[in-house]
Amino acid sequence: MIAAKQLHMTVYASLLAALTAAGAYLAIPIGPVPIILQNLFIFLSGLLLGSKWGVASVGVYLLAGALGLPVFAGGVAGIGRFAGPTGGYLLGFLPAVYVIGWITERTRKRAVSDVLAMVCGSLIIYAFGVTWLKTLTGMTLANTLAVGMYPFILGDALKIAAAVPIAKALRPVINR
């Protein structure tokens, strides 16, 4: 039974990594910066799979990108992306998904705890992304925040709001 459960989790983690890749292609044009669905699926990996399998899912996604499969935003791939200006956000996904999974594993799966977990997750992503962007471009902190964080906050709030009902609908499918 344990092996079967593991196989299911392997397949689900791969599916979420594939969804993240697909989400990097789909952009919803609302507001000045298009909303990219990539981190919605990062949030969902944490919420649905928990810390261990969430990290596995995101790790496979990043590895696929590093090897040059076209899975990052805009279809641009390659190991060079980690050294590029958005590399910090990509690396930040790993600790973020771990923390989201860790929080949901320790709380009753309610909307409030889900939102709390995702807010912590986004803060971690921004901490990594903005620090890296700042060291790479040499901008001041205020400027970096204006470029690399403020435009995305509204989108993130919408994604968090969208992730709650999706997680609620999918948990029964996964935890059968």
Q: Which residues bind other proteins (CB under 8 A)?
A: 4, 7-8, 10-15, 17-19, 21-22, 25, 56, 59-61, 63-64, 67-71, 73-80, 162, 165-166, 169-170, 173-174
In angstroms, give the least distance from the CB of 138 to other proteins. Answer: 13
Contact in structure between 167 and 114 (CB atoms under 8 Å): yes
Q: How far is residue 22 CA from its own chain's centroid?
A: 13
Our CB check for other proteins shows the closer of 73 and 133 to be: 73
SS3 36: strand
Our CB check for other proteins shows the closer of 7 and 123 to be: 7
CA distance 73 to 21: 8
Our CB check for other proteins shows the closer of 108 and 173 to be: 173
In angstroms, give the least distance from the CB of 69 to other proteins. Answer: 7
Q: Which residues contact 53 (CB under 8 A, 6 or more apart)?
A: 9, 12, 13, 45, 101
